[in-house]
Chains A and B, each alone.
Chain A
């Protein structure tokens, strides 16, 4: 009996080496432990044995059964491994490059814009917008700009023909339609359409009748800011600008407000920046933006009572900031769209 079992296990072990597929495994399993399997037959023979023989033979059979089960388990692993290998194919060299294109990138002007908007958002300024083609009233008159101001000149400002009608900026009377020269026109639209208090920033494209060179561009971008509330002060202006500059240029950047003149603010200032981290422009006062308290005349023209409301406003050039932040020396790079430039800022 013992010999019979040993032969059975040996035969099964030998047969197992030929099993490669799941079907062969199932067939093999049936031949050994199936209802008519070789081991099953031996187990059935137990019934003919005497009481004394049974425990001894039973032990032998259990040992043989255990061996067969181990054999089957090992075969299952072998077969599954073969199946997985077939499903996946050959192994992959992970050091090969991915054929997919990498993610794209935002334009440096967009990145700079978003960074600026994010810092003003922390101070409660939300984004507002307005049309790029504007009425002369919104761009100049409502901003207290005299009728004969040089900025309105055909030499400096791009105009649309008399017949042009804008769906977004209908004329109030028969004023000219022009390409806005600053985003300050959004100040006007916001004051006319919203109830104070509010704080807005308006990023946008502006136009001047300028020849293109390293520092001039026929279109450029500004970010305008306006805060209308009760009792807005010069100290508030300083606080807002100081915060913005430290957010954008680092904690060791300083500002100064240099008195200047704009028709729509009084008092008016140029804000200068000085920072130790601007390459060859480090540690020098650099003109960054115009700002001031909203002129009472502008509040009046935009339907707000200057006795109740006051405000501050500022406007900065996006290209200028992006050039300073990234050390870019020629404004034309922004509009050439050479990807060797664009992808440097990803």
Chain B
């Protein structure tokens, strides 16, 4: 919404108030000022009227002319010019050397392609007067004297403030609304609005009216008025009206349309003018019928959704109510009788319809934000004044009104002390009343406090809390001091997801990994790779914006693999990368569940050279990081088992899927599918890991660990090596070892640890077998174990192991 300083000055006396001050005050009222621009001719003392006495072609440039210009200095000036739209004898603006143009550049005596040029002849745009005709601004028709300062031909420049109006402040979509707020803030008085056309409405057309009926049968149009104006002379608007519209960013069309637009800007009430001779019989606001169409003013043909409110005559819809007029019954040069509409339409419906047909107009914008029903008739009268004055219109009688204004003024009971209680600082009742009075509200004392009458132009103020906002806007937020110091509430803890995120990030940063952050929205190909085509469809969005962002991510790994490739391509050593974030995974029950995921990826072989060789990263180191991450989420390593990962992101036989017996975690680690990572441009294999947890995993508070006593006697260790077929998993063998070793210890003593210390395949072993060696450690709580006991225990372990088919213990 563009509001000029001059426009505001029509409604309040701004003597002594600068435009800069206005631009400072409005934002603190909730009216954000997005830009401040000059409208009209800025003070340019060195720009004068000059006459082009003669000109010839530039000797070295076809497009340039060398002109001899009389700028009223007694002698001629030579100026090189690129424009073509002039003839000898034309009078044009001449910027003399030393002029600082509105665009910021300074005019100097110079040479253009070796020809002297002492000044510049200007176009409308160069002077900051907006885009006019191409070429120089020709002043000849105005007959100005040569040498006259250009500023004397134009009025003083105006300042235009572009204001962003929040959706609750429909009243500030009219200049008077902004002026009212400004007056309240500055302690000024709003000037009364003088309207000559008499108030008063008729219920039905008289014989003199240009219509036989005015009706509303649409629920979206509870209040409609129409006025007949005869013998209207359509023509151009006077200079002041054109200027006001242009300052507000509107294009002047003709006096009738310009007047309706001017009133819209002034009061925020949209009006519509029909050519009465093109209207058949009467006007009705009614629901559109099945199959009806309308060609809008902008030439767009719109199929009307049945039920949408249209303004129609006896034959056809003429206007999409409140949104845009049709081409059929608009005012043109040949119009003589005008029907002037002023109405109130339901805001929500206007917003819906405007969006549905894809147009937003000054009119729909205002109706959608709830215009003042009490302002409908006023706007009609103000426009009538102007139609009489500027277009010679004749009024035949009062406007015809159907329906009733849907809202009236509202009374709010404001309990004593309510405002102060919400502010948290004392305020005098008198200050509160004064602020409301400045806003045009009427305050009366009541038993419980006061009652505040809020005029209908403020549809957003209906409750005591709304009055608090009104008060603070006028009183000033800077007058509210910072409140009491506050103490934390005992026993309150961060959500465990947050604690986990912090802790697991610290673990990975400590391990040398750098945190990344990727978009959650991914393309179809990535999801098909991650989940398979069937499942991928389950995380597709309904209305994606681009083809690259159509699905919700199901894994953080593809993002990280991409980041490795990106960094290598720019010759940056990515080292290890990790990410913590939400992923979305389809579940067997038909739902999609959110998981908090932790993932990392690293190129197996170090990228940069070093004087000392380092171990390559591998899938088993990835496994440790996953186990640590799971432990931080409260999932102990013993609950996790690692099976074969199948397909998707992972390389067959070189990656493992992680399964949690407690169903709180899932994941995988190992080598990423080599064809895929190579297609990303990664030469070396990539090791990655990902573990994710449903929200429920973080629902319960963590248990505080309890101390357990430990033995002060030495342990006994024994080694056992077992030869098993290569297909048997190490975990299975280890589990069997544990089983035997625990059984052997019984209740007497305890198995402390089992660790695999050797894995061997090769000479001396049967074909297709491997040997796994474990160290077992037992300990007694109250004494040293004897050799006899431990040898016996080892015997039990050996016996347990040899029950396995094809398993032999090495002796």
Q: Which residues of A contact B (CB under 8 A)?
A: 96-97, 99-107, 109-110, 114, 117, 121, 123-124, 126-129, 131-133, 146-150, 153-154, 158-162, 164-168, 179, 197-199, 203, 205, 207, 209-211, 217-219, 231, 233-240, 242-243, 256-261, 266-270, 293, 295-296, 310, 334-340, 342-343
Inside 8 A of B483's CB, which chain A residues have their CB? 233, 235-240
Closest 5 pairs (CB-CB, A-B): A233-B424, A235-B424, A124-B488, A267-B469, A235-B483
**Structural contact, B541 and A159, CB atoms closer than 8 A:** yes
Chain B residues, CB < 8 A from A343: 514
Interchain CB contact (< 8 A) of A96 among B169, B421, B611 = B611
Q: A97-B611, A210-B545 are contacts. A165–B517 as well, Cβ < 8 Å? A: no
Contacts A235-B425, A259-B477, A266-B465 given; indicate if A337 touches B519 (C-beta within 8 A): no
Question: Cβ of A234 and Cβ of B422 under 8 Å apart?
Answer: yes
Do residues B502 and A114 form an inter-chain contact, with CB atoms below 8 A? yes
Does the CB pair B541–A337 fall under 8 Å? no
| Bound CA–CA A162/B486 (angstroms) | 45
Q: Are the CB atoms of A338 and B545 closer together than 8 Å?
A: no
Asked if B472 and A127 sit within 8 Å, CB to CB, the answer is: no
Given A104-B578, A148-B348, A335:B518 Cβ within 8 A: yes
Q: What's the Cα separation between A102 and B468 when bound, in Å?
A: 56
Partner of B512, one of A97, A103, A235: A103
Query: B519 touching A99 by the CB < 8 A rule?
Result: no
Tell me, in angstroms, the Cα distance from A150 to B29 when the chains sit together.
Answer: 23
A258 touches B514 (CB 8 A): no
Q: How many Å from the CB of A161 to the closest CB on chain B?
A: 5
Does B542 make an interface contact (CB < 8 A)? yes
Whether, in the assembled complex, B576 has its beta carbon less than 8 Å from a beta carbon of chain A, the answer is yes
Given known A164-B592, A199-B489, A218-B549, contact A107–B516 (CB-CB < 8 A): yes
Contact B545 A218 (CB under 8 A): yes
Asked if B592 contacts A107 (CB within 8 A), the reply is no
Tell me, rounded to whole Å, the shortest Cβ–Cβ distance linking B531 to chain A.
15
Distance from B698 Cβ to chain A, minimum over Cβ atoms (Å): 9
Contact digits for B743-775, partner A, Cβ 8 Å, 1 yes 0 no: 000000000000000000000000000000000
Provided the pairs A106-B509, A128-B495, A339-B575 are in contact, do residues A159 and B516 lie with their beta carbons within 8 angstroms?
Answer: no
| Known interface pairs A126-B492, A209-B545, A260-B32; 16 further A-B residue pairs with C-beta atoms within 8 A, sorted by A's residue number | A104-B575, A124-B488, A124-B492, A131-B594, A148-B351, A159-B543, A161-B542, A205-B520, A207-B520, A209-B543, A233-B421, A236-B484, A240-B486, A269-B477, A270-B32, A339-B514
Please determine whether B592 and A165 come into contact, CB atoms closer than 8 angstroms: yes
Partner of A161, one of B425, B540, B593: B540
A147 to B347, CA, bound (A): 12
A335 touches B592 (CB 8 A): no
Taking CB atoms, residues of chain A closer than 8 Å to B513 are 104
18 contacts between A and B (CB under 8 A): A97-B610, A110-B505, A124-B488, A160-B542, A165-B591, A166-B591, A210-B545, A234-B422, A234-B480, A256-B477, A258-B32, A259-B469, A296-B465, A337-B516, A337-B517, A337-B518, A337-B567, A340-B570
Report the stretch among B265-273, B403-411, B579-587, B684-692 that lies at the interface.
Answer: B579-587
A219 touches B695 (CB 8 A): no
Complex: chain A residue closest to B602, CB-CB: A101
Q: How far is the CB of A239 from chain B (nearest CB, A)?
A: 4
Set B466, B495, B594: member contacting A266, Cβ < 8 A: B466
Whether A338 and B472, one on each chain, are in contact in the complex, defined by CB atoms closer than 8 angstroms, is no
Q: Write out the residue numbers on chain B whose beta carbons fall within 8 Å of the beta carbon of A268.
A: 469
Measured in the bound complex, the distance between the Cα atoms of B594 and A295 in whole Å is 30
Contact partners of A123 in chain B: CB under 8 A: 486, 488
Query: Known contacts being A101-B575, A103-B512, is A211 close to B546, with CB within 8 Å?
Result: yes
In the assembled complex, which residues on chain A have CB atoms less than 8 Å from the CB atom of B348? 146-148
The listed residue (B518, B544, B577, B594) touching A133 by CB distance below 8 A is B594
On whether the beta carbons of A335 and B517 are closer than 8 Å, the reply is yes
What residues of B have a CB within 8 angstroms of the CB of A231 in the complex?
A: 421, 424
The answer to whether B497 touches A236, judged by C-beta atoms less than 8 angstroms apart, is no
A234 contacts which of B472, B573, B593 (Cβ < 8 Å)?
B472
* Chain A residues within 8 Å of B472, by CB: 234, 259, 267
| Contacting pair A129 B517 (CB below 8 A) | no
Pairwise interchain contact B570-A126, C-beta atoms closer than 8 A: no
Q: How far is the CA of A217 from the CA of B518 in the complex (A)?
A: 11
Tell me which residues across on chain A come within 8 A of B517, comparing CB atoms. Answer: 107, 109-110, 334-335, 337
Could you tell me the distance between the alpha carbons of A130 and B466 in the complex, rounded to whole angstroms?
Answer: 30
- Is B616 in the interface zone, CB < 8 Å from A? no
Are B477 and A258 in contact, CB atoms less than 8 angstroms apart? yes
* Known interface pairs A114-B502, A198-B489; A219-B594 also in contact (CB < 8 Å): no
Shortest distance between the CB of A193 and any CB in chain B (Å) = 11
Q: Tell me the complex Cα distance, A199–B424, Å.
A: 18
A135 to B698, CA, bound (A): 22
Q: How far is the CB of A289 from chain B (nearest CB, A)?
A: 14
Closest approach, in angstroms, between the C-beta of B325 and any C-beta of chain A?
Answer: 23
Q: Is the CB of B166 within 8 A of A261?
A: yes
Q: How far is the CB of A250 from the nearest CB of chain B, in Å?
A: 17
Residues 500-536 of B, flagged 1 when their CB comes within 8 A of A and 0 if not, give 0010010011111111111111000000000000000
Which residues of the other chain, A, contact B485 by a CB distance below 8 angstroms?
239
Are A259 and B30 CB-contacts (below 8 A) given A106-B505, A158-B541, A205-B520? Answer: yes
Q: Which residues of B contact A154 (CB under 8 A)?
A: 543
Residues of B within 8 A of A131 (CB): 594, 695
- B594: chain A residues within 8 A (beta carbon): 131-133, 166-168
Q: Which residues of chain B come closer than 8 Å to A165, judged between CB atoms?
A: 590-592
Residues of chain A within 8 A of B624, CB atoms compared: none
Given A259-B472, A268-B469, A238 and B520 contact (CB-CB distance below 8 Å): no
Q: Which residue of A lies closest to B509 (CB)?
A: A104
- Distance (whole angstroms) from the CB of B423 to the closest CB of chain A: 5
Q: Which residue of B lies closest to A219 (CB)?
A: B520
Whether B355 contacts A153 by the Cβ 8 Å rule is: yes
B714 contacts across to A, CB distance below 8 A: none
| Docked complex Cα distance between A128 and B502 (Å) | 14
Closest A residue to B552 using CB positions: A133
Q: Is the CB of A233 within 8 A of B465?
A: no
Instruction: State which of A161, A267, A339 has its C-beta within 8 Å of the C-beta of B468.
Output: A267
Is B494 a contact partner of A338 (Cβ separation < 8 A)? Answer: no
A139 to B695, CA, bound (A): 19
CB of B352 closer than 8 Å to a CB of A: yes
Shortest C-beta distance, A248 to chain B (Å), equals 16
What distance in Å separates the Cβ of A169 from its nearest Cβ neighbour in chain B?
9
**Smallest Cβ distance from B549 to chain A, in angstroms?**
6
Question: CA of A259 to CA of B181 in the docked complex: distance in angstroms?
Answer: 13
B489 near A342 (CB under 8 angstroms)?
no
Q: In the assembled complex, how far is the CB of residue B517 from the closest CB belonging to chain A, in whole angstroms?
A: 5
Contacts of A235 in B (CB 8 A): 423-425, 480-484
B436 CB to closest chain A CB (Å) equals 15
Cβ–Cβ contact A234 & B424, under 8 A: yes
Task: Report the Cα distance A337→B558, complex, angstroms.
Answer: 13
Q: Report the separation of the CA atoms of residues A99 and B165 in the bound assembly, to the nearest whole angstrom.
A: 61
Return A166 CB to nearest CB of chain B, in Å.
6
Q: Which residues in B have their C-beta under 8 angstroms from that of A243?
A: 482
Nearest CB to that of B30 among chain A residues?
A259
**How far, in whole Å, are A267 and B424 apart by their CA atoms in the complex?**
13
When distances are taken between beta carbons in the complex, the residues of chain A under 8 Å from B509 are 103-106
- Taking the closest CB of chain B, its distance from the CB of A261, in whole angstroms, is 4
Q: How far is the CA of A261 from the CA of B566 in the complex (A)?
A: 43
In angstroms, Cα B463 to Cα A266, docked, is 10
**B493 → chain A, closest Cβ, in Å?**
6
**B502 touching A211 by the CB < 8 A rule?**
no
The complex places the Cα of A164 from the Cα of B586 at a distance, in Å, of 10
Q: A160 and B541 in contact (CB under 8 A), knowing A258-B28, A259-B30, A339-B567? A: yes
Chain A residues within 8 Å of B543, by CB:
154, 158-159, 209
Return chain B residues, CB-CB under 8 Å to A117: 494, 498
In this assembly, does B563 line the interface, its C-beta being within 8 Å of a C-beta of chain A? yes
Assembled-state Cα–Cα distance A165/B538 (Å): 9
Does B574 have its Cβ within 8 Å of any Cβ on chain A? Answer: yes
Chain A positions within 8 Å of B611 at CB level: 96-97, 99
